[in-house]
Structure 1
Amino acid sequence: MSAAPATATAPTPAETSHRTSSAGVVAMLGSGLSNQVGAATGSLAFPVLGPVGVVAVRQYVAAIVLLAIGRPRLRSFTRSQWRPVVLLAVVFGTMNLSLYTAIDRVGLGLAVTLEFLGPLALALAATRRRVDACCAVLAAAGVVTLMRPQPTTDYVGMGFGILGAVCWASYILLNRTVGSRIPGAQGSAAAAGLSALMFLPVGLVVALRHPPTAASLGYAVAAGVLASAVPYLVDLFTLRHVPPAAFGLFMSVNPVLAAVVGWIGLGQNLGRADGAAIGAVVTANVLSIATSRGRTPAA
């Protein structure tokens, strides 16, 4: 006698939610690792191309990916739409240039932590809760520790990290404006393409003054793919399956990932005080988001 065929049961909503959450967490972890590994890989090309050359290549890669996805209809843009797009293009290039310059001078972990202060400050400024005030004090203590006077303190590099933080906060605000005025990803794609055009003469000058080797060019392209293309595509998937609050919470892991990647991949060791400072900044963001109720975090 043959056995009765097994009846397939549909997954319950709880099982579906668990699978979605698990996939989202894996995707966010992969995106964060890709971003930091990409930044570390790009730094390997600094001796030949310098931070400016690496950023130029990264802008080209980002433009190719975003233009292919967004497919902006540039001729239909009005003056009120072009204005924030141009500003976003300038901020986009300045943000990456300041970050990579900071990485070159102070290391990956400290540079990413300082840049992370931008969205953190933006989130804390949007509320008036006591816990956020405590988080701000905690983050400020971490920054003071990171920038404390030492025999080898590079304040220029830290200044570029702070500039990156300002640019990241501006990037978030401008993206909101562009997204409200231009449908889909057309605005971001147009800004990426315009930023790449701005870096064309820069890339040409770098190539003429410092002819790239095959290895350095490969590192720069890899940085563009790992730190721009992969995170952008993964984040598109993640934001469809993970609540924005959870996404913002997981973004807190990026400074820690940067410190680990810098230590393992580049041999950049952090002292106990620096590690504690990074932990303070990350904890401030985690507490602020985890204790929020009904607050919409920055996109």
Structure 2
Amino acid sequence: MGRATAAGLATMAASAASNQVGAAVGAHAFASIGPAGVVAVRQFVAAAVLLPVARPDPRRFTWAQWWPTLLLALVFGTMNLSLYTAVDRVGLGLAVTLEFLGPLAVALAGSRTRTDLFCAAAAGAGVYVLVLPGPARDYTGIGLGLLAAACWAAYILLNRLLGKRLPGLQAPAAATAVSALAYLPVAAALIVAGRLHGPGLLYAVAAGVLSSVVPYAADLIALRRVPTQFFAVMMSIHPVLAALAGLVLLGEVLAVHEWAGIAIVVSANALAVASHRRTREPRQEVPR
């Protein structure tokens, strides 16, 4: 396995693990500040950390750099809010399955060989077996889950594009700053209501670091090292890590179908890694 691929795999794994731990922490803040409040704080924290590090200069951005950055800001502000609301309405299992349709669609669309196609389909089947979502009549919740899926697909494609057009972490830094500005009214309303304080705020700040700062930076770096389709297949590790986090951190015993789903997803990812090693794209120079 090439160094770029190995580094990309390690970065994706770290991003997914951080994201799932952050999601578990952020859920504790729902009762006090709601999903919108958690998303708002996440964007503020991400902007506060990434802006001093990346130091983007918007005055020098060309339109070719600005338009995907603005779209990424819209994705940041919409993706987690739609997912959190979907989870609240239709349950975690169905919401996770619906959201994974986004990266699954990217993986299927980018499939170049039968092996790629099989890996993507197997990963999707594994996620379904893992969560075994039940029927739901809440069409609003289903619609929000599909919106989260579309946002996740757009997130992958925009990060891939911006990784080529802007150096370092300038793209996620600028996008989170724009998204944070859009969420200022939410924060103002919570402050006026006297709700933006105490443990709820601390949980949301921690979620901002773990589920926004780390993944936004890590995913951009990973997409500079691995193909988009390969990255999309590897996103199936998110629900797997969520289930394992529940086992390790919360003492939740996994059912037989959950272990089966984990085995399918892990096998699909292992096959994707092996296939990518044999037919990987010509190595691209990584922007510094």
TM-score by length of 1: 0.73
What is the CA–CA distance in structure 2 between the aligned matches of 1:181 and 1:172, rounded to whole Å? 15
Shift of 1:130: 1.9
Residue 228 (structure 1) aligned with residue 198 (structure 2): no
Change in Cα spacing, 1:190 to 1:236, as seen in structure 2 (3 Å) is closer
Match of 1:48 in 2: 32
State the partner residue of 2:188.
204
Q: CA deviation at 1:50?
A: 1.1
Q: Distance in 1 between matches of 2:91 and 2:266?
A: 18
1:186 equivalent among 161, 167, 170 = 170
| Residue 132 (structure 1) aligned to one of 110, 116, 119 | 116
Contact kept, 8 Å, 1:40 with 1:265, in 2: the verdict is no
Q: 1:186 to 1:258 in 2, by over 3 A?
A: same
1:77 deviates by 1.9
Between the two proteins, what is the percent identity of the paired residues?
55
TM-superposed deviation, 1:140? 4.8
| Residues 144-199 of structure 1: CA deviation (Å, up to 9, x unaligned) | 65787747786654543332222121112122333333333222211110011011
**1:95 matched to which residue of 2?**
79
Of 277, 280, 286, 1:294 maps to 280
35-44 or 260-269: bigger deviation: 260-269
Separation (CA, whole Å) in 1 of partners of 2:82 and 2:40:
12
Higher CA-based Rg: 1
Contact conserved, 1:109 with 1:262, CA < 8 A, in 2? no
The residue aligned with 1:122 is 106
The answer to whether residue 159 in structure 2 is matched with residue 175 in structure 1 is: yes
Q: Which runs of 5+ in 1 are unaligned?
A: 1-16
Determine if contact 2:20/2:245 at 8 Å carries over to the other structure: yes
1:36 corresponding residue in structure 2: 20
Distance apart, 1:88 and its partner CA: 1.1
> Paired residue for 2:179?
195
Q: Sort the Cα spacing of 1:150 and 1:180 in 2 relative to 1 into closer, same or farther, 3 A.
A: closer
The number of residues matched between the two structures is: 281
Change (3 A) 1:110 1:69: farther
1:257 aligns with 2:265: no
In 2, Cα distance between the equivalents of 1:21 and 1:128? 18
CA positional deviation for 1:256: 1.2
Q: Which residue of 2 aligns with 1:214?
A: 198
The corresponding residue for 2:52 is 68
CA RMSD of aligned residues (A): 4.1
Bigger mean CA deviation after superposition, 244-253 or 197-206: 244-253
| TM-superposed deviation, 1:46 | 0.6
Find the counterpart in structure 1 of residue 286 from structure 2.
none
* Cα deviation code 1:122-156 (max 9, x no counterpart): 13321242223333443454566578774778665
Write out per-residue CA displacement over residues 206-225 of structure 1, whole angstroms, 9 at most, x where no aligned residue.
44346134011111011011
TM value normalised by structure 2: 0.75
The gaps in structure 2 that reach 5 residues or longer are 284-288
Counterpart of 1:205, as a letter, is: A
**Alpha-carbon distance, 1:202 to partner:** 1.9
Q: Secondary structure at the match of 2:21?
A: helix
